[in-house]
Structure 1
Amino acid sequence: MVGNLLEILDWNISEYQDSVAIAESHRTITYGQLNKLSNGYLRVLKEWGVQEHDIVAIEMDRSIEAIAAMIAIWRAGGAYTVINKDYPDTRKQLMREILSVDFTIDESLYVLPASGEQPEKPVHRSSEHLSYVIFTSGTTSLPKAVGIPDRAVIRLLGEKRLGLSPGKTISHISQLEFDASIIEIWGGLLSGMTLALLTKTEVLNVYTVEHRINQGIDMMWITCSLFNFWVDKKPGMFKKLSHVIVGGEQLSLSHVKKALQYTKVINGYGPTENTVFTTLDVMEGDADEIRIGTPIHGTCTYVVNEQGECSNEGELYVSGLGLALGYINNPEKTEESFVKWNGMDVYRTGDLVRLDRTGKLEYIGRRDTQVKINGYRIDLQELEYTVKFLGVENCHAFVKDKKVYLAITSSYEKLADDLKKHLPMYMIPSKIVEVETLALTANGKMDTRALYEEHFVPKSVKLTNVISKYLDSSQLEVHSNLFEFGLDSVTVWEISRDINETFNADLSFFDIIQNPSVHEILNVLGEKKYAANHL
């Protein structure tokens, strides 16, 4: 296979000039038109003075223009990084500083397609050329910038199980700063496929997603949490897909079985540091267990025990063409994770796995999901596994203020009692709450913070926090008269508005005037049962 991304892309542009490259709900663009638009962005980059090996930031939602900008950055000899435009300004600035970014393309930049099809002097790219940078969260507040070279993306194209081939359509639903977007965008465009781009609004509407699938999507990549959400709502929506690739978190067997009635499910596992996928497992109708499978094309895997020797159970090491160049401008973290082992360059994933009798890898958990509370070491994934073993379809365990909390999506009155039959007392959650759905982040992963604030923070605490914004609240208690703390007609309007936004309620000015305490307001909000039992 040729050595850099632009050579492959240019071949596809020439071969599929008039074929649709990207289809949004109300507009499409062909490969030829996309090329001209990207050269329009390239002209701007040259005017700005972008040089070879510069890293250029993109602050845009997924769109035709964002992808054209990425191609232009490659043509300029640079690499791109995506910064979510909704991030706080301090976070954006930190990311730019880590990468020494001087140039940013955002949605305010209007570009006309260039008349010429190719730039005058295309830059030379090698297989080791930095292609893009994706930020991952670190163990500190400082994010890690993972640098991915051309070769790592190209090696994905050789994996037959992904089903990437000309004439097919792959969905594009991932946030651009998430590495799932790589298999969608470049797995698609470098294979002569069409990208079916869905907006944030479309992705949240199951019926809109089904409509787009029925219009002609062949395959999708979906995070596990989003997959579970869709399966719970309408599993039949997948029936026209040849297959769906699910990853990002550990799969739920019950959800997989429901989806397998309509399509093939592929479990896609892999850290960002080894470029999207490390292993795959193709699951069909009779699947009765979850495995992360076997290595993809261009990747080797090793199960290493605590003594640093190959074993049937231990930490997963990976090597091969998918390895990142390391963490940009962070040599200390790079040396910790990208190491020499038995004379090879490997990445230590931090994931614990087991090799089964068929040669497939089984995911056990992460070293860093083991938390210590009151002197006891607790594995949150072991807790989640046990909950699912007992029949709960989906759940999420997390720690807050040295307490274990568990959210479940199935009704199970005696779950705590049954957990005590399988787990030691120190692993039993302090609080178990049944929720309709598990909150997701913009990247489609579990939103622990939102889950905690919505379902585990006592309503009295939430209400007190709202009121405290407007009154002198140092001595405020649930039965305190708010007029004694400075409540007046102006603050009543402000408090009622804030309460309505926080609790999705319809509290009036007079509701607060007539019920001037946290306790009474909770009753008005329909929380009488809660107030009686928990205040």
Structure 2
Amino acid sequence: MGKNSDILSVLQRICQTYPDHSAVVEDDVKTLTYQQLWQQSLRVAEYVKRQGGDCPFVGLNLPKSASYIVGMIGCWMAGKAFVPIGTDLPPARQSDIIHHADISLCLDADIYDHAMSYPMSTTISPCLPHHKAYMIYSSGTTGTPKGILVSHAGLCNLAQCQQQGFAVDSHSRYLFFLSVNFDASISDILVTLTSGATLVIESMPQERLASTLFDVIENRKVTHTDIPPSLLRLMSPEHCPSCLQTIVIGGEPADIDTVRRWSRKVRLVNVYGPTEATVCTSMCRCDDQWDAPLLGDVLDHTHYSVYADGKFDVAEGELWISGIGLAIGYYKNEELTSKKFPVIDGVRYYRTSDHVRMTKDNQLMFVGRIDRQVKYHGQLIELEEIEHTLRINKNVRNVAVVKRKTDSANDKEAIVAFIQLMNKDIVQSDVERQLRQCCKHHLPKWMMPTFFVFVDHMPQTPSGKTDLHALSVMPMSRTVCEENHRYISEEEETIANMMADILKLQAMGPNDDFYLLGGDSLDTILLLSKLQQHHITITPAELRQASTPRQLARIQVRHRSMCIHSSQLEDQWQLSCSPAITTSVTTTKKPDVVLITGATGFLGSHLLSEIFRNLVPERVICLVRCPSSAAGLERVRDTYHKYGLDLKDTARLEIVCGDISKPYLGLAEDAYKKLSEEVSAVYHCAASVNMLANYDQLKDANVIGTRNIIELCMRGRRKQ
């Protein structure tokens, strides 16, 4: 793999070299070998060729999953560039991206499943260096996200350099932690797959994954992962599983103490690079002498220049990047492309707007930004885009958004919106509620202002512009009014005290919102942990929906009301037993008629495949919830295609339309009796799996359904 390599040729060679090696493992349940990864990508490629039209882009509206990886590679095979459209983005933002890129085909979960029924493409489009590879949307100053269009030119170079820098090989297991909205996720995918390594995916919410990260790493035998420095700060190297060898950090400066502590435990690599230069342009192996945010060693075929006052190669100034990884530019924005990608003396550069300085050891270190772009939670944000969104409200006269330190004891930084209203009679709380709703509709969550501060007048500079520096140091003191400080339960007060402790606030009222007062994803992890220690069980999803002490206390009360005492459960179990069950026929040594439930799921479909391969019964009956046998067979076929299985032996396969949660499995009494007398073995795989559902919601499928299957086994012919 070198400078001029084709990323698909590299992946194809890896798939041929390691066909049976695990390429992607999702939730330790779904595994794709490299051969299956390649074959499923060919199915997506065929679908995209037939349905993609003339648009050069295909949207990937898929969560972090094996399907996302297959979709990405399939787009390249079809000669298309992919555009990540995260399922967690607000609908309005998804719509803006689709409209701006003129996307006619968007792969979501349903379309992806349909694509798996297509034949494998027999041809693969070449990925030449100048061809479009992907487009990532980032914050834009006009209120519209800007599309950064990246070619294939730098992908192989990036993967090869990171393989060496991270020490990734075919024995590595790389945890895919970052969001698909973050371009660094692309390099995590490529450095893994071009090494013949295994990409480990956990689909749980990121807050939950972060809070159980060490458990996941140990259980999945993870050797490499890429995580934000702010999360690494909360983790103790003393408790790190021994299997973890390398941690990659980037996106924001890491604090010195965290870097020093962790560099003694693992290979800690700090990466730097803008989206406009194919994810990463330099890397630095950290050690216990780390004392500054160094950019590190530049990747092959990449060059750094420091520019100031019309001169290059000065000691301090703006970082300019040149080399094979530079993006094509900003889609549909030639003016901005010309400004940010100037050509000087025949060399094309990207102006990063990053302020850097040369150290005494001739190392470049990051100093800060030279424009109004800021890094927040690892994401590059245009503050002007937030301002543009807030100006939509007719009650707003003027607005300014800054990233600044709050007045809380933890000296935390936050995005703060200063609002000047049209007149003083407008109710500020009403406007704040409207503005938050507007932001929620138009902006991704990492761009949401933490605080709204209402001012009578905006401070101005001598030239008449808004004085942003004055706003960044303006006091932001906050008090809790007496009315809001009255708790109606001890649990409310306990939760409020925990929140105040985490946010470093003097006090919190029962109706104060954890997130509106500055709580972020890392604070969420801490709060959930503290709640658990006090035997208050709240899920991340519940906390996102109910984030005040009073709301959480009510949820806890509701949880208790839904709990069932073991004695009550015992009564239910005793009552559910049928009094008259007979068995009249002795078992056979080898089952000739097999009944399987759950064949349209992951486990059931693989089990069905093994039954045909190893047991070779005369008949296999699949109990499927479906309107007709034909529809049921189609569901089984679709599942087989989805998981790369081959359903050949349909002559011995029989579909029975039924429902395990209903009496007689949803069958007529004579059909049920016939089934009980014919079947000699039962494989029960059907279940409802939902971590957020309560007992009552799961009971019909999982408890009643299992009881009904047991009753079937005890009637008619004796069964295995």
Q: How many residues align?
A: 422
1:295-314 Cα distance to aligned partner (Å, 9 max, x none): 12221101111333321100
Confirm whether residue 279 of structure 1 aligns to residue 282 of structure 2: yes
> In structure 2, do the counterparts of structure 1 residues 353 and 174 end up closer, same or farther at CA, with 3 Å as the change threshold?
same
Q: Which residue does 2:300 correspond to in 1?
A: 297
- Deviation of 1:137 after TM superposition, in Å, equals 0.6
**1: CA distance, partners of 2:175 / 2:323:** 27
* Amino acid of the structure 2 residue aligned with 1:255: T
| Contact 2:45 2:75 (C-alpha < 8 Å) held by counterparts | yes
How far the C-alpha of 1:65 sits from its partner, in A, is 1.0
For the pair 1:188 / 2:192, whether they are aligned, the reply is: yes
Secondary structure of the 1:431 match is coil
Query: 1:387-426 to 2 correspondence within 5 Å?
Result: 395-401=412-418
- CA deviation vs aligned residue, 1:252-282 (integer Å, no higher than 9, x gap): 1122223234212211111110111122111
Over residues 464-513 of structure 1, what are the superposed CA-to-partner deviations in whole Å (9 max), with x where a residue is unaligned? xxxxxxxxxxxxxxxxxxxxxxxxxxxxxxxxxxxx945241589xxxxx
| 1:175 to 2:179 alignment | yes
Instruction: Please state whether the residue corresponding to 2:88 is helix, strand or coil.
Output: coil
Identify the match of residue 107 of structure 1 among 89, 109, 119: 109
List alignment gaps of at least 5 residues for structure 1.
373-377, 408-423, 439-449, 457-499, 509-535
Distance 1:432 1:199 in 2: 40
3-state DSSP class of the match of 2:168? coil
Matches for 1:38-437 after TM superposition, within 5 Å: 38-50=41-53, 54-109=56-111, 110-111=113-114, 119-159=121-161, 160-201=164-205, 204-206=208-210, 208-214=212-218, 215-231=220-236, 236-237=239-240, 239-369=242-372, 395-401=412-418, 428=473, 430-431=475-476, 436=502
Question: Which letter maps to 1:332?
Answer: E
Find the residue that maps to 1:267 and give its secondary structure: strand
Name the SS of the counterpart of 2:222 in structure 1.
coil
Closer/same/farther in 2, CA of residues 303 and 200 from structure 1, 3 Å limit = farther
Structure of larger gyration radius: 2
CA deviations on 1:88-130 (whole Å, 9 max, x unpaired) are 33322221121111101001221475797x6322223211111
Task: Rate the CA distance shift 1:119–1:452 in 2: closer, same or farther, 3 A.
Answer: closer
Cα drift, residue 54 of structure 1: 1.8
- Measured in 2, the distance between the counterparts of 1:437 and 1:260 equals 28
Decide whether aligned partners of structure 1 residues 158 and 35 sit closer, same or farther in structure 2, where only a CA change above 3 A counts.
Answer: closer
C-alpha change, 1:148 and 1:455, in structure 2 (3 Å) is closer
Distance 1:504 1:40, change over 3 A: farther
Q: Secondary structure at the match of 1:204?
A: helix
Among 503, 506, 516, which residue is 2:548 paired with? 503
Aligned to 2:665: none
Letter aligned with residue 217 of structure 1: V
Q: Is the 8 A contact 2:514 2:547 kept in 1?
A: no
Aligned to 1:445: none
Change (3 A) 1:49 1:92: closer
Q: 1:156 to 1:69 in 2, by over 3 A?
A: same
SS of 1:71's partner is: helix
User: Could you tell which deviates more after superposition, 139-148 or 316-325?
Assistant: 139-148
- Contact kept in structure 1, 2:52 and 2:58, CA below 8 Å: no
Q: Distance in 1 between matches of 2:283 and 2:338?
A: 27
Name 2:16's counterpart in structure 1: 14
| Equivalent pair of 1:210/1:237 in contact (CA under 8 Å) | yes
Letter in 1 for 2:157: R
Matches of 2:410 and 2:324 in 1, distance apart? 37
Q: Which moved more, 1:196-205 or 1:7-16?
A: 196-205
1:363 CA displacement: 0.5
**Structure 2 counterpart of 1:442:** none
> Percent identity among equivalent residues?
24
SS at match of 2:5: coil
Code of the aligned partner of 2:320: Y
How far is 1:60 from its partner? 0.8
Aligned residues of 2:402 and 2:415 also touching (Cα < 8 A): no
Q: Rate the CA distance shift 1:7–1:20 in 2: closer, same or farther, 3 A.
A: same
Supply the AA of the counterpart residue of 2:57.
I
**CA displacement at 1:365 relative to structure 2:** 0.2
Distance 1:455 1:172, change over 3 A: closer
User: What's the CA shift for 1:177?
Assistant: 2.0
Alpha-carbon distance in structure 1 between the residues aligned to 2:239 and 2:264? 8
CA contact (8 A) 2:450 2:516 kept: no
The SS at the match of 2:233 is helix
Aligned to 2:674: none
Contact 1:301-1:316 within 8 A present in 2 as well: yes
Q: Distance in 1 between matches of 2:194 and 2:300?
A: 16
Alpha-carbon distance between aligned partners in 2 of 1:154 and 1:44, rounded to the nearest angstrom: 26
Residues in 2 aligned to 1:39 and 1:189: alpha-carbon distance in whole angstroms: 16
Residue deviations 1:10-58, cap 9 Å, x none?
111111111000112222110001111112222322331545x720001
TM-score with structure 1 setting the length: 0.71
Q: Read off the aligned partner of 1:41 and give its amino acid letter.
A: V
Structure 1 runs of 4+ aligned residues shifted over 6 Å read 378-381, 424-427, 432-435
Equivalent residue of 2:550, what SS? coil
Give the secondary-structure state (helix, strand or coil) at the position aligned to 2:319.
strand
CA distance in 2, matches of 1:435, 1:453: 15
Q: Any gaps of 5 or more consecutive residues in structure 2? A: 374-382, 385-400, 421-448, 452-468, 479-499, 505-512, 520-544, 555-720
Give the CA deviation at 1:393.
8.3
Give the Cα–Cα distance (whole angstroms) in 2 for the partners of residues 247 and 366 of structure 1: 16
How big is the shift at 1:218?
1.4
SS at match of 1:217: coil
SS at match of 1:108: helix
Query: Compared with structure 1, are the counterparts of its residues 219 and 48 closer, same or farther at alpha carbon in structure 2 (3 Å cutoff)?
Result: same
Q: 2:649 corresponds to which residue?
A: none
CA deviation string 1:333-390 (max 9, x = no partner): 1111111134310000000000112221110000125999xxxxx9968x79xx9xxx
Distance 2:62 2:46 in 1: 19
* Residue 393 to residue 431, structure 1, CA distance change in 2 (3 Å): closer
> 2 CA distance for matches of 1:432 and 1:16?
60
Q: For the residues of structure 2 that align with 1:58 and 1:115, how far apart are their CA atoms? A: 18
Provide the C-alpha distance between the structure 1 equivalents of 2:350 and 2:514, rounded to a whole number of angstroms: 32
Tell me the TM-score normalised to structure 2 length. Answer: 0.54
